[in-house]
Chains A and B, each alone.
Chain A
């Protein structure tokens, strides 16, 4: 048993921590959230320089052979900074799908471009009326010459407004397949909007969008298993992001308890608030353990084991994040609910993480169902 990061991992963590502190301060982040792109293209280039856009890919394709634990470490730091860049969409989800299921040619073309910061991607998978059910796909792919024609709508596609290409799931050959689609393809329309946490997403309509035969990622009709794996990867990453946010929230809240004075003393002198803070720290430590489990198991070749660990972690981390987020706001009093302070923004991001790719109930249900077969 070994819970230590390697020296390389610690160095990367340190680099990111310094970047967030120096170049991604909260005021900068606030400006970015209101800008047209909604994120920092310069930061994206810096991420490429740091190597984190190449992290989970094999070295044959310009990658760094990173594990899910490496991704955890990156996500924790991006969480601290409330980074708005579409890292999960491009690198974790779509990069992961191409890595796991792409042809050699696709990997050779696409992965180095992602790693270099030249290509942004978004996964257009979920649809209205399907909630978090990941096999709910009504979008169709019909044969069109040697290629395919796509029709359907996709809901709340994270990172879509900045994506150069989309990975679209659609039904054909009695199953679900994945297609790489240019964002500016004729017949593809986007309804872009900000999300509650300041990021960007879009609803997408595909009306007879034509793609070539070589646009398919993986085997026809067999995408579900690879989407499942990519979503597990993404959920493990979101858990790590939440841990970064919860740690940061605990730090600022503790500082507030020590400095905010009422009745002539720091409010941290009041036992009711001390115990509340202690509960927040306990929840964060427990959640960190579960996020670690998810990261380690995310690389497991055993799909059932992987899936069970990630579901457990996402349920637990979301519940802990709810407690920490709500109480951090409460302990800050009025200052917790203003747009001007980082506390409320950490809280909003935690809330949205909890509602992305399955909420706590969904993941608890998924875990609970495994009790019947274990």
Chain B
């Protein structure tokens, strides 16, 4: 038993740090660390910088242009990127559709799609949930009817993240209504520029446009965009959801946000002293830090085991998702609570990087503007990616055999 990183791992961490110091643009890290509004170009720029370094897809095997790093190296990379304020690499292309393409697509599809994911050319989004199919995903109704060399798609997807920027959407569609629901689903890649695709914004509680509905009206999709076999999409979907959960612990980001919470609690004043000296508030931070410490080690235990088995992520990933999402929520809640009355203003401009505050808002410009919105925004984390209730079902059934 040894909880220390090896000398090689330490050296690797230094290499990552050196790279971040040299290549992470300060205008990007300033936005990330300040919790400001991110643009499409911010994500794309960072992906291109990583790709130039050969680190565009650290979770991919080398044969597809990945780094071939082991789980511990990936963890170190994630942690350092988060700490430095690098933009998050959105998972839809890199961590969701790509593993499916690698495992189940034909070589032509792999050649066509994977290079454009890793170099940041294509922006991918997800077409899974439907208004009537959330936790019960297999009940999805979007139809794909084969006509010659094409499928004709009709239906509606929802809870689509950042699809307003997307070039491609990976969709679960119904190709058969025979037999079990799961047996009639196919996995289809759809060009977002296809006629008949409509993206409609869903404004969330923080007032931001991050989520969409995507409508398909007689959309023609070439059959060569089908992944694997028709009606086997459910197998691929489950594989994908397993991958979605491994990154969801978000330990690196939570450690960064904990640091920020402490910094805020040192700046805010309660009874003439820094808020962090208020024992009632400090204990809340301390309790949360215990959760993060435990999750960090649990995360390392799970990914070390995965490294050995090289299989699909195990049900223990559900523990990471549940704890990771709860921690994210508590962090934003305490950051908001630290502000006192200053949690109340809603300053839309305050999310813009360029906003410098104004004289009547005193110290507010520094860090306060985005915090309440973040708290409202991350309520989604216990809902998406398989809600935490579904994760507990997985634990009950797959781990406990209940």
Q: Identify the interface centre among A128, A197, A352: most chain B CB within 10 Å of its CB.
A: A128
Interface residues on A, range: 35 or more
Chain A proximity of B283: nearest CB distance (Å): 10
Given A196-B346, A333-B135, the answer on whether A355 and B340 have CB atoms closer than 8 Å is: yes
- Beta-carbon contact of A330 and B383 below 8 Å: yes
Given contacts A196-B344, A333-B134, A337-B383, A189 and B202 within 8 Å (CB-CB):
no
Q: Given A339-B203, A348-B376: A355 and B337 within 8 A (CB)?
A: yes
Q: Is B191 an interface residue (CB 8 A)?
A: no
- List 29 interface pairs A-B (beta carbons < 8 Å), by A numbering: A128-B362, A128-B363, A131-B270, A133-B270, A133-B272, A155-B342, A195-B344, A195-B345, A196-B344, A196-B372, A201-B344, A205-B359, A264-B136, A267-B135, A333-B135, A334-B384, A336-B379, A337-B204, A337-B383, A339-B203, A339-B207, A340-B202, A351-B375, A355-B344, A356-B344, A359-B337, A359-B340, A361-B278, A361-B284
Number of B residues with CB within 8 Å of any CB on chain A: 56
Q: A167 near B: Cβ within 8 Å? A: no
A-B pairs with the 10 shortest C-beta distances? A191-B360, A262-B136, A339-B203, A156-B341, A131-B340, A344-B205, A203-B360, A195-B344, A131-B270, A263-B136
B353 at the interface (CB under 8 A from A): no
B202–A153 contact, CB under 8 A? no
B389 near A272: Cβ-Cβ < 8 Å: yes
Q: How far is the CA of A338 from the CA of B360 in the complex (A)?
A: 32
B24 at the interface (CB under 8 A from A): no
Given known contacts A128-B363, A330-B382, A355-B337, is B280 in contact with A364 (CB within 8 Å)? yes
Beta-carbon contacts under 8 Å, B326-376 to A: 336-337, 339-347, 358-363, 372-373, 375-376
- Chain B residues in the interface with A (C-beta under 8 A): 129, 132-136, 139, 158-159, 202-205, 207, 211, 268-272, 275, 278, 280-281, 284, 336-337, 339-347, 358-363, 372-373, 375-377, 379-380, 382-384, 387-389, 392
A126 on the B face (CB < 8 A): yes
Find A355's partner among B158, B205, B336, B389 (CB 8 Å cutoff). B336
Q: A130 on the interface (CB 8 Å rule)?
A: yes
User: CB distance A339 to B204 under 8 Å?
Assistant: yes
Contacts of A190 in B (CB 8 A): 360
Contact of A347 among B205, B211, B373 (CB under 8 A): B205
A131 touches B271 (CB 8 A): yes
- Kindly list chain A residues whose C-beta atoms are within 8 Å of the C-beta of B341: 126, 131-132, 155-156, 355-356
CA distance A118 to B344 in the complex (A): 27
Once A131-B271, A333-B135 are accepted as A-B contacts, the answer to whether A352 and B343 lie under 8 Å apart by CB is: yes
A128 partner residues in chain B, CB cutoff 8 A: 342, 362-363
In the complex, what residues of A have CB within 8 A of residue B359's CB? 205
Measured in the bound complex, the distance between the Cα atoms of B339 and A364 in whole Å is 18
Q: How far is the CA of A156 from the CA of B340 in the complex (A)?
A: 10
Among B129, B132, B362, which residue has its beta carbon within 8 angstroms of that of A153? B362
Query: Besides A129-B269, A195-B346, A336-B379, 16 other CB < 8 A contacts?
Result: A131-B271, A132-B341, A262-B135, A270-B389, A272-B392, A273-B389, A330-B382, A334-B129, A334-B134, A334-B384, A338-B204, A339-B202, A348-B205, A351-B336, A359-B337, A361-B280
Q: Is A115 an interface residue (CB 8 A)?
A: no
A189 touches B270 (CB 8 A): no
- CB contact list, A338-371 vs B, under 8 A: 338-340, 344, 347-348, 351-352, 355-356, 359, 361, 364-365
Complex CA–CA separation, A155 to B362 (angstroms):
9
Please tell me if the beta carbons of B345 and A201 are within 8 angstroms of each other in the complex. Answer: yes
Closest residue on chain A to residue B378 by CB atoms = A337
A189-B205 in contact (CB<8A): no
- A321 at interface (Cβ–Cβ under 8 A)? no
Asked whether B134 lies within 8 Å of A262 as measured between CB atoms, the reply is yes
- How far does the Cβ of A85 sit from chain B's closest Cβ, in whole Å? 17
Q: Which of A279-296 contact B (CB under 8 A)?
A: none
Nearest residue (CB) in A for B358 is A191
Q: Do the beta carbons of B345 and A326 come within 8 Å of each other?
A: no
A117 and B47 CA atoms in complex are apart in Å by: 58
Hey, which chain A residues are within 8 Å of B372, CB to CB?
A: 196, 351
Q: A133-B270, A155-B341 are contacts. A203–B379 as well, Cβ < 8 Å?
A: no
B375 contacts across to A, CB distance below 8 A? 351
A109 to B79, CA, bound (A): 64
* B271 proximity list for chain A (CB < 8 A): 131, 133
For the complex, what is the distance from the CA of A258 to the CA of B367, rounded to whole Å? 42
CB distance A131 to B362 under 8 Å? no
A83 at the interface (CB under 8 A from B): no
Task: Say whether A336 contacts B346, CB under 8 Å.
Answer: no
Look across to chain A and name the residue whose beta carbon is closest to the beta carbon of B283: A361
Are A196 and B135 in contact, with the CB atoms below 8 A? no
Partner of A156, one of B129, B159, B278, B345: B345
